[in-house]
Amino acid sequence: MALVLNTDQLQLKDQARKLVKAKLPVEQLRKLRDAKDERGFSADVWKEMGELGWAGILVPETFGGAGLGYQELGVLLEETGRHLVASPLWSTALAGATALIRGGDDTLKKELLPQVAAGKALLALAVDEKPHHDPLAVSTKAEPAGGGFRLTGKKILVADGHVADWLVVSAAAPSGLTVFLVKAGAPGVKRTRHWTADSRGWAEIEFSAAEAHAVLGESGKGDALLERILDAGRTGLAAEMLGGISEAYERTLDYLKVRQQFGVPIGSFQALQHRAAQMFCEVELCRSLVRDALSALDEDRKDLAQAASATKAHLSEVFHLVTNEAVQMHGGIGVTDEHEIGFFLKRARVAEHLLGSAGFHRSRYAALSGY
């Protein structure tokens, strides 16, 4: 596992940082929130991301993509996480693309992957049915009908589900858990737009005998595919969280250097120095965990599930810690809506529970390790 980025990855990181800083600062998220923008992200910037090849980072070159890996996509997610960017990059380029690449047949790949790579098709992962993440407890039913399947049930907390063209859905078929691809505009699919505390776009989706477009993977044996998609999603989410953690820490460090009390910078106070030092150590550990989990995905390692859970668990706790410290060290202004540091705390509270909290992943890691 390489702990440092190579030349190509550094160039990609620099490209991403320039674009995000220029066109998608945190202020953009505030504007989307205040305008109650139904889409929830900038369509123009997403189009530009598609033109830059971001949407097709994982897509093989034969299907019009860049044919790169999770390390490269992780670089992009980390930079978007720094500015709390709202975009379909995670839901489409990571979770959706992984589902199609790992579970789609050649016909489905030829049909959809070129559209995904061009940023013209949006996907969303519809898995959770309860407030707490429990992906294998599926009550959505898939009944055989006319040579295919029809789905009935409800999914919650579907990231970008309100604008997606396609939905990757887990359901219980007669033969067992199966992963399906459903056209979002199909009859029997009802989508309800919701706003979470971090001002991102989510949906609740109800299926009423909705026809599945295709089965991903093998019918009745979707457990392994679903977990692989989720582990990719968890790791990518952790990379995005790393960006938020790093930015919140750096903003706080800068504030400690300029905010004065009793005639001196508050960063000169030993107690605050100790807290900042602890945050620094945690940020560096997070960086190593994310790099390792991304490498596990690229190398298809046997310990991928453990790496993904260890990473998501620790990043959830550190994002919570760092954003708490950031708001506290900023003092009164840190809890005002006018100041941006509070947006990082809100993002942390949503991200730490998405696709499993620290408690969920510690329990999963223990079970995977035989305890």
**Residues 228 and 362 both lie in one domain:** yes
Give yes or no: residues 65 and 149 share one domain: no
Let me know whether 48 and 89 are in one domain: yes
Q: How confident is the model at residue 157 (pLDDT cuts 50, 70, 90)?
A: very high
Q: What average pLDDT does the segment 215-230 reach? A: 96
Domain annotation covers residue 283 = yes
**30-34, 73-77, 116-120, 320-324: least confidently modelled range:** 30-34
Residue 247 in any domain: the answer is: yes
Q: What is the mean pLDDT of the chain?
A: 95
Is the pLDDT at 260 greater than 90? The verdict is no
Identify the residue with better confidence: 359 or 27: 359
Banded model confidence at residue 61, pLDDT cuts 50, 70, 90 = very high
Domain that holds residue 21: 7-120
Same domain, 192 and 289: no
In a domain, 342, yes or no: yes
The verdict on 142 and 116 lying in the same domain is no
Q: What is the CATH number of the domain that holds 266?
A: 1.20.140.10
- Reduce the secondary structure of 210-228 to three states and give it as a string: EECCEEECCCCCCHHHHHH
Assess whether 210 and 239 both reside in one domain: no
**Residues 21 and 151 occupy one common structural domain:** no
* Reported pTM: 0.96
Find the range with the poorest average confidence among 33-47, 139-153, 249-263: 33-47
Q: Which residue has the higher pLDDT, 313 or 24?
A: 313
Q: Show which of 218, 244, 261 is a domain's final residue.
A: 218
- Tell whether 186 is covered by a domain: yes
The CATH number for 100's domain is 1.10.540.10
Residue 119: is its pLDDT beyond 90?
yes
Assigned domain for 206 exists:
yes
Domain end position, chosen among 97, 120, 143: 120
Pair (228, 356) in one structural domain: yes
Domain C-terminal end among 165, 193, 218? 218
Whether 233 and 208 share a structural domain: no
Q: Give the chain's domain count.
A: 3
- Same domain membership, residue 362 and residue 240: yes
Indicate which CATH number applies to the domain containing 210: 2.40.110.10
Q: Is residue 1 part of a domain?
A: no
> Residue 200: beta bridge partners?
none
Residue 329: inside a domain: yes
The 10s digit of each residue's pLDDT in 315-362 is 999 999 999 999 999 998 999 988 999 999 999 999 999 999 999 999
Based on the domain organization, do 192 and 135 belong to the same domain?
yes
Instruction: Answer yes or no: do 150 and 189 share one domain.
Output: yes
Model confidence at 2: pLDDT above 70: no
In a domain, 2, yes or no: no
